[in-house]
Amino acid sequence: MTISFLGLSAHSTPGLAAEVEHPLPRPTTMVAPVESPATIALPAPADLADDELAAGGSVAYPTLAAAVAAQSHHDGDDEAIQCLAGAIFYEAKGEPLSGQLAVADVILNRSKSGRFPSDVCQVVTQRGQFSFVRGGRIPSIDESSRYYRTAVAVAKVALAEAWKSDAERALYFNRGRAPAAGLRKVASIGNHIFWR
C-alpha cells in the first residue's frame, strides 16, 4: 500500500496528492529494542605468570585471532616454542592465522607420528625437511618483528591445543603439488596445501 501511495504521488498532479485525507495507519505493535552484540574484552599481553595457556589453563576463545591475541610475548620461552615459532615465521609469516596454525600443527603431528623425531626442535631441524634450516639450525630472527611475535603466539596456541586446525592430522605441506605419491590433500590455506 505504501508503494501504491508513493506511485500515486509520483505520477499525479500536486492537487491529487494533496487530496489524500488520511495518512496510512502506523503499526501499533511495539518492537523491543535490539541490544548491540556483546563485546569480548581480551586481556592485554602480560608476563608469563598471566599467560593463560602457559599457566596450563583451559580457555575457550571465540576466534583463532582472540586466542592468538591473548598470548603474551616474553623472553625465556621454552625451546619448543622457539623452534615452532621459528618454523611458523619462516614458512608462513605472511599467511592467515589459520595457515600459520596449520604449519605448526604439521610439525606437532610429525612429533607424535612415530615416523619423525618426537622432539619439536628435532622435527624442525631434521635434515632435508625445511628449506630455511641451515646446518641443522634455525637462522636468527629479529624477535621485535611483529611477524615473529605473532608466530610465538600461534606456537603457544598450537602447543596448548587451544584451537582446532583446518589441516588436522596433516603431516606435510607445500606450495604446489603433492610432495610424494599416495598422499591425500587435507586442506588448502593461503598459499599452502596440506597433505596426509
* Domains along the sequence of the chain with CATH: 48-195 (1.10.10.2520)
pTM: 0.68
Model pLDDT, residue 10 = 40
Low-confidence ranges of the chain (pLDDT < 70): 1-59, 73-77, 177-178
- The CA-based angle 165-98-192, given to 5 degrees, is 100
Model pLDDT, residue 41 = 36
Show the beta-strand stretches assigned E in the chain. Answer: 172-174, 185-189, 192-195
* Closest residue by Cα to residue 171 from 121, 109, 101, 129: 109
Model pLDDT, residue 176 = 73
Question: What is the Cα–Cα distance from 172 to 149, expressed in whole angstroms?
Answer: 24
Model pLDDT, residue 35 = 36
Type of residue found at 170:
A
